[in-house]
Homo-oligomer: A and B are copies of this chain.
Amino acid sequence: METTSDQHWDVYLKNCPCRDVLDLLANKWTALMLGALRRRPHRFGELRRAVEGISQKMLTQNLRALERDGLITRTVYPTTPPTVEYALTDLGTDVSRHLVALSTWSQANFSRIREARETFDSRVVEPVS
């Protein structure tokens, strides 16, 4: 019994609605945010500090989008000052595996990448004689 996908979507097609999902996921901030939330739930400010350099605008915007798509939950505790906690859903936990893999890969292979860059740059910027 098919409880999940009842149709085949193709991200390579221009108008396939599932491309919006890829667009949300294949995003630097999403990768870092879900990676942080994977370790434990975070409050807004905690997340802001965990993902160094993200603006609160992007943080808010991505949190909304991720909540809307059912990847994270947003829980408000009516305290003063307000406490808002974000946590991964099961669906969010599932994708986060792949995003963490990307982050980890970037870290692990940065040395190689940097070498490639140096080689490329030295071959390109010096076309003289």
- Assess whether A120 is in contact with B67, with CB atoms less than 8 Å apart: yes
A22 touching B103, Cβ below 8 Å = yes
Interface digits, A1-42 against B, CB 8 Å rule (1 contact, 0 not)?
000111111111110011101110111101110011000000
Q: Assess whether B7 is in contact with A111, with CB atoms less than 8 Å apart.
A: yes
Report if A127 contacts B (CB, 8 A): no
Interface flag for A46 (CB, 8 Å): no
Tell me, rounded to whole Å, the shortest Cβ–Cβ distance linking A15 to chain B: 8
Query: Which chain B residues border A120 with CB–CB below 8 Å?
Result: 67-70
Which of A17, A30, A94, A112: most chain B Cβ within 10 A? A112
Most buried by B among A21, A51, A117: A21
The DSSP consensus for interface residues of chain A is helix
Bound form: Cα–Cα A91–B39 in Å: 28
Quick one: closest B residue to A116, CB to CB? B70
Check if B13 sits within 8 Å of A52, measured CB to CB: yes
- Looking at the assembled complex, report how far the CB atom of A35 sits from the nearest CB atom of chain B, in whole angstroms: 8
Smallest Cβ distance from A58 to chain B, in angstroms?
A: 13
Q: A98-B105, A102-B98, A105-B98 are in contact. Are A110 and B17 (CB under 8 A)?
A: yes
